[in-house]
Chain A
């Protein structure tokens, strides 16, 4: 089937089977910040925005993004600069696999006026797993993002 959508502002057309995961479509289109982690909606490494909402690309099927506006970390370089700097400054990155997902969630949270308390940030990160950092530095980095 034919799927048309915009990814980071550019129109993309795909000819694919309806059961194709959005995760695979966007990675094949070159957006490799979207990571294939658990594949089951648990880890958030595949997070991306669809029409302004952060969702798991591993659970979404191709038809669900027809005519939609997709945004990945590649399309939010300027908007996330302060967050990425804060992650680097606070050592909130080890292997880096989970980082794009965390940065997008942090951006989503902060741009909706999310509270900067540790408790609220930990709760907001309920859909992102990290196997390396122990979260302490990630939470600290998000608390201290310069606005």
Chain B
């Protein structure tokens, strides 16, 4: 294995230019298991100690979350609990205490798993990601970063931060899994409802995290009819059937969650 330790952001982007296929080492909760299958071929760029990629800070009406912020740091951040309660609620269902001490925000996004909880929550919150390469920085809507199952459009780039508009209006977050805590989502739903209308996303409901736009338009139009909601969900969601649950099951649970969200959202 080729192991490279970066001590600042400039070094990371230079290394990514040279080794575009390299794995970045952060919490390693996803990477450790991937590496076990191919240790010989991998190049590892260790960024876990870079201070410039840590920390949560308010910037006007947005929150900037460094890519190395852990799930427990989100969960216990007063700023996040206050201004982004949906994100705190998501973090509270995520992995276990020990996993939350390791797992990072950037790792959850970059891993691009259809079951990634935090990614789904961030999509519903209309978050943007800041990407850095040798050519400088750019910011894109998180939703546009994905290109299918475990696929991102990162191009010799790393995620340096996520910026999230502060929450207004009502919201809903719910995750269903095998166990009450430590579990990978069979389905989760993240929903916000503010002056801009509904924003809805979910985990394990498509090859990559997406916004449910047909459903959003339907609800924005004031149609809360069961059959219409079901049809909209089937249009937007494309869950895989697998050994953990069937496609029909995932759609049914998502439907029940949407109904619950409409009848009892959290207000703020």
List the interface of chain A (C-beta within 8 A of B).
Answer: 1, 17-19, 21, 40-42, 44, 47, 53-56, 58-61, 63-64, 105, 108, 123-124, 126-128
Identify B1's interface contact among A19, A47, A64, A128, CB under 8 A.
A19
Q: Is B44 positioned at the interface, with any CB of A under 8 Å from its CB?
A: yes
Residue numbers in A under 8 Å from B28 (CB-CB): 59-61, 64
Number of interface residues of B (CB under 8 A): 26
Q: Which residues of chain B from 17 to 42 have a CB within 8 Å of any chain A CB?
A: 25, 27-29, 32-33, 35-36, 39, 42
Given the known A-B contacts A1-B3, A18-B1, A123-B181, are A56 and B48 also in contact in the complex, defined by CB atoms under 8 Å?
no
Q: Is B97 positioned at the interface, with any CB of A under 8 Å from its CB?
A: yes
Q: Is B98 positioned at the interface, with any CB of A under 8 Å from its CB?
A: yes
User: Do A126 and B1 touch across chains, with their CB atoms under 8 A apart?
Assistant: no
Identify B101's interface contact among A18, A55, A123, A124, CB under 8 A.
A55
User: Do B39 and A53 touch across chains, with their CB atoms under 8 A apart?
Assistant: no
User: Do A63 and B5 touch across chains, with their CB atoms under 8 A apart?
Assistant: yes
User: Do B48 and A64 touch across chains, with their CB atoms under 8 A apart?
Assistant: yes
Identify B29's interface contact among A17, A59, A63, CB under 8 A.
A59
How far is B99's CA from A47's CA once the two chains are assembled, in angstroms?
10
User: Do B32 and A124 touch across chains, with their CB atoms under 8 A apart?
Assistant: no
How far is B27's CA from A29's CA once the two chains are assembled, in angstroms?
23
A59-B28, A59-B29, A61-B35 given; 14 more Cβ-contact pairs under 8 Å: A1-B3, A19-B42, A19-B44, A40-B33, A41-B96, A41-B98, A41-B99, A47-B98, A56-B98, A58-B32, A63-B44, A105-B98, A127-B96, A127-B98
User: Do B97 and A56 touch across chains, with their CB atoms under 8 A apart?
Assistant: no
Residue numbers in A under 8 Å from B42 (CB-CB): 19
User: Do A41 and B46 touch across chains, with their CB atoms under 8 A apart?
Assistant: no
